[in-house]
Structure 1
Amino acid sequence: MTIRRLPLIAATIGSATALSFISGTTATATPPLAPPVIEDIFAVTGTVSVKFHNPNDTGVCWIYNEENGEIFGGDNPTSFATPDGLMIQTSLGNGQLPAGTMRVRGACAFVPPSTGGSDHSSITDVYVVELPTNPNTPPTGSFG
């Protein structure tokens, strides 16, 4: 029984292959974007800043706090790197972030997340940043 079906399967596959060559159509997919290139990350009391650029010839890139998704620069259009290759510096915190660890990531997509394009084509590895303690913070009186 198996021997009889083999020629039928081969004929079907051959017909489908021939049809695709005759029609001249090929399946093309949009290639994924590369992640943003992060040049520098630095922290001062209450603020984390990142310098980065978009290595792609399309799409936009941004930086965000991995823990809560907050976009650096407040989702302001000037905080997104476009395909022109310009270096962008963007910040988060404006002096208000607590001391401690922040996990920072960059992402690129074909449309900015503010337009509903939250699906990104690529993301960077996580960068762990230590925010320094504010030397002007008054003591809490707690010793434990």
Structure 2
Amino acid sequence: MTNRRLGLAGLLALPVLAGTLAFGATATAAPGAEPPTIEVFTLPGTVSATFHNPNDRGVCWAFNEATGEIFGGNNPTSFAEAGQTVQSSLGGLPTGQVRVRGACAWSRPTGNHDYASTTEVIIVDVTGKPPTGSFG
């Protein structure tokens, strides 16, 4: 299992970014919003993220920077509302590296060109998919 954490000190040093996320989705811009605090860990074939929305409004989420895929899918339980902490995952991943980001915006993403405050990229190594459980 690989653990990486972007601590509060690291987040405070990050500038708030308002720009286009590659492969992202449209969300209402979040000027002045802080990016989420995020911790990422891996299991075979899966990357999980626990992230916290430090803002007094809006939503935060984790996503695969290469594909734009939101951890846990684009459903209400994949987003941390103001002050909430959420854990979600991406599964069925091949062995290799995944570039994870956390993002916050005033509304959930709905299309192309996402405008949000984001964390720095967290690179995690994914190990092979888990065995099928067959014995014999």
Same fold per TM (> 0.5)?
yes
Detail structure 1 runs of 4+ shifted over 6 Å in the superposition. Answer: none
Pick closer, same or farther for the CA change 1:118–1:81 going to 2, 3 Å.
Answer: farther
Q: Which residue of 1 aligns with 2:104?
A: 108
> How many equivalent pairs are there?
103
Q: Greater strand share, 1 or 2?
A: 2
3-state secondary structure, aligned to 1:113: coil
Q: Which residue of 2 aligns with 1:46?
A: 45
Alpha-carbon distance between aligned partners in 1 of 2:113 and 2:57, rounded to the nearest angstrom: 16
3-state secondary structure, aligned to 2:80: coil
Of all paired residues, the percent bearing the same amino acid is 55
Q: Greater helix share, 1 or 2?
A: 1
TM-score calculated relative to the size of structure 2: 0.69
Alpha-carbon distance between aligned partners in 2 of 1:43 and 1:105, rounded to the nearest angstrom: 15
Supply the RMSD in Å over aligned alpha carbons: 2.0
Report deviation, 1:135. 6.6
Report deviation, 1:87. 1.6
- Structure number with greater Rg is 1
Q: Are the equivalent residues in 1 in contact too, given 2:101–2:119 (CA < 8 A)?
A: yes
Q: Which residue of 1 aligns with 2:127?
A: 132
Greater RCO between the two (CA within 8 Å, min separation 6)?
2
Report deviation, 1:120. 2.6
Pick closer, same or farther for the CA change 1:112–1:135 going to 2, 3 Å.
Answer: closer
Q: Equivalences for 1:31-110 in 2 at 5 Å?
A: 31-38=31-38, 40-83=39-82, 85-93=83-91, 96-110=92-106
| Residue segments in structure 1 that go unaligned for 5+ positions in a row | 1-29, 138-144
